[in-house]
Amino acid sequence: MSRREQIKMTPEEVKDFLEAQRTAQVATLGPNGRPHLVPVFYVTRGDAVVATWSYAKSQKVVNLRRLAQATVLVESGESYEELRGVSMECDVTILEDIEQIVAIGQELTGRMIDNADVATSASQFIRAQAEKRVGLRFTPTKIVSWDHAKLGGSY
């Protein structure tokens, strides 16, 4: 078995890993053809990674309106034997329905803030901000994963 196959995560491991993390790096193609790379907070829905709180006029959204494709990277680990990650080539849907944006914003806030009362009180802010924002749904077309801990210390 190749090293690549040894470190590959199962679909369930990928799902658990994505649900445990909070930040993804999103690469889109900028107007000059170079990658535009930005961090985003995200939530998961089924096989899709859904991010929100992107201003409708942000560079990543402008890029996605031109070409609705992105690469999304979620990773963790400080040393080689701890490295884990998922890289996804994705088709992207820009969500402009206010209720969808609010729902994603509330879910994201609930995930980021451990205090339920604070997350609930943020709902008015979320609704007010939703007018200027869009949601982004990243649907993977190709997934590559790795978990170096599976090597058991042998490299």
pLDDT in tens, 2-34: 878 889 999 999 999 999 999 999 999 999 999
Map out the domains of the chain with their CATH numbers: 3-151 (2.30.110.10)
In 3-state terms, what secondary structure has residue 38? strand
Worst-scoring range by mean pLDDT, 30-34, 126-130, 136-140? 126-130
How far apart CA 99 and CA 127 sit, in angstroms, is 9
For the packed helices 123-130 and 98-112, what is the interaxial angle rounded to 10 degrees? 140
More confident of the two residues 107 and 12: 12
Global pTM reads 0.90
pLDDT in tens, 34-85: 999 999 999 998 888 888 778 999 999 999 999 999 999 999 999 988 999 9
Q: Are 110 and 117 in contact (CB under 8 A)?
A: no
User: 155: pLDDT confidence band, cut at 50, 70 and 90?
Assistant: low
pLDDT score of 1 more than 80: no
Of 133, 126, 104, the residue nearest 43 (C-alpha) = 104
Ranges of H-type helices in the chain: 3-7, 11-20, 59-66, 98-112, 116-121, 123-130
Phi then psi for residue 147, to 5 deg, are -145, 100
What local confidence, expressed as pLDDT, does residue 147 receive?
Answer: 95
